Structure 1
Amino acid sequence: MTAEPSDVTLFDPDAGGSQPPGSLEALIARIDGEISELQFPRFSKDDSLNLGLLLVELGKTRKLPIAIDITKGEQVLFHVALDGATPNNEHWVRAKQRTAARYEIPSLLVGLRARLRGGRIEDQGWYDESVYAAHGGSFPVYVAGVGAVATVTVSGLPQMQDHDLVVEALREILGSMRPA
């Protein structure tokens, strides 16, 4: 039996020590695939509201203690903290959002690519952890043919869960935009 990509144990960015061979590369490839998949035909303020409300619905239904943010440039399009979210989540939202906006890739991918090169981006002298966070939870909103136009960020869960929740919501909103 050959290993399917889904059979590869995922890299856990929160775990210390060694991890399964190929798991970091597999996770990076998965996120690169998500970027390719999640290309929107447009992204309006109404779309950001729908995305934000979907994340609220998912968070409330699952009783998740999360903060949610959608930002375009300097303009906050949607922002809310659900029950259980703390003021600390606000710092993480902003730091992850700045990272995704600066690099125009998911905040998780910034940290993973640094690990692939054998280190942590946080160990670079120029990287200011009071401003940026290379942790999962912020994903750029890409418009096909345009590029990154906004970011959607979740904070309050372990970073892989933050990332996966954002991707789940982006998939659902994108699916609702496609012709039936």
Structure 2
Amino acid sequence: MSADRESWPTLDELLREENELELAGLSETDAYELGMLAVTAATEQRLPVSVGVWRAGRQLFHCGLPGSTADNDAWLRRKGRVVMRFEHSSLYMARLCQDKQVTLAERYGLPAARYAAAGGAVPLRVRGTGVVGWVGVSGLPQLDDHRFVVDILRKLPR
């Protein structure tokens, strides 16, 4: 986590944010529209990111924008695994680990090659169902990745 940890959201703020972002549903069409919303915003801002939307272990959307790399794709999957394991954003888990001064490997025995507690992946919660998947970006500093995804999710109808 960066030296300016005080500017990061608290765990309580991140929990409230996750609850505010609950969706009515997540069909394949919804996933495509969510992914395209993110791609359009990232393209307009000229952000070098990879974008992914997953539901129930299945990738429904992926796009690597100019300047992104295969490394961004790998980071995206690692952050998404954290979301599905803990049903919290990857930034929430990054903050939790930082606050407790441990890594995911130390606390939960999760290999760093497969799991990344770094901001950028956010759970997709469906009303009455719970977490069904995740959306994420990789390519910016982790707090910026997280904020970008949250801003996109806030544009969706509830």
- The alignment's TM-score, normalised by the length of structure 2, stands at 0.92
After superposition, the CA RMSD in angstroms is 1.8
User: Which structure 2 residues correspond to residues 38-53 of structure 1 after superposition, within 5 A?
Assistant: 38-53=21-36
* Deviation readout 1:79-122 (Å, 9 max, x if unpaired): 01000001110110110011111111101111211222233334
Instruction: Give the partner amino acid of 1:67.
Output: S
Say yes or no: does 1:98 pair with 2:86. no
Deviant stretches of 4+, over 3 Å: 122-125
Question: Identity of aligned pairs, percent?
Answer: 33
Match of 1:36 in 2: 19
Give the 3 Å change call, closer, same or farther, for CA 41–160 of structure 1 in structure 2. same
- Of 114, 135, 158, the match for 2:141: 158
Q: For 1:39, what is the secondary structure of its paired residue? A: coil
Q: How many residues align?
A: 158
Give the 3 Å change call, closer, same or farther, for CA 145–89 of structure 1 in structure 2. same
Say yes or no: does 1:133 pair with 2:112. no
Which protein shows a greater Rg? 1
Give the 3 Å change call, closer, same or farther, for CA 102–125 of structure 1 in structure 2. closer
Report how far residue 126 of structure 1 moved: 1.3
Q: Using the alignment, how far apart are the partners of 2:32 and 2:70 within structure 1? A: 23
Match of 1:54 in 2: 37
Q: Structure 1: which 5+ runs fail to align?
A: 1-12
Q: Relative contact order (C-alpha < 8 Å, sep 6+): which is higher?
A: 2
Report how far residue 125 of structure 1 moved: 7.2
Instruction: Give the partner amino acid of 1:163.
Output: H
- The alignment's TM-score, normalised by the length of structure 1, stands at 0.81
Match of 2:53 in 1: 70
User: Which structure 2 residues correspond to residues 159-174 of structure 1 after superposition, within 5 A?
Assistant: 159-173=142-156
Match of 1:14 in 2: 2
Q: For 1:164, what is the secondary structure of its paired residue? A: helix
Instruction: Give the partner amino acid of 2:143.
Output: M
Q: Using the alignment, how far apart are the partners of 1:67 and 1:113 within structure 2? A: 25
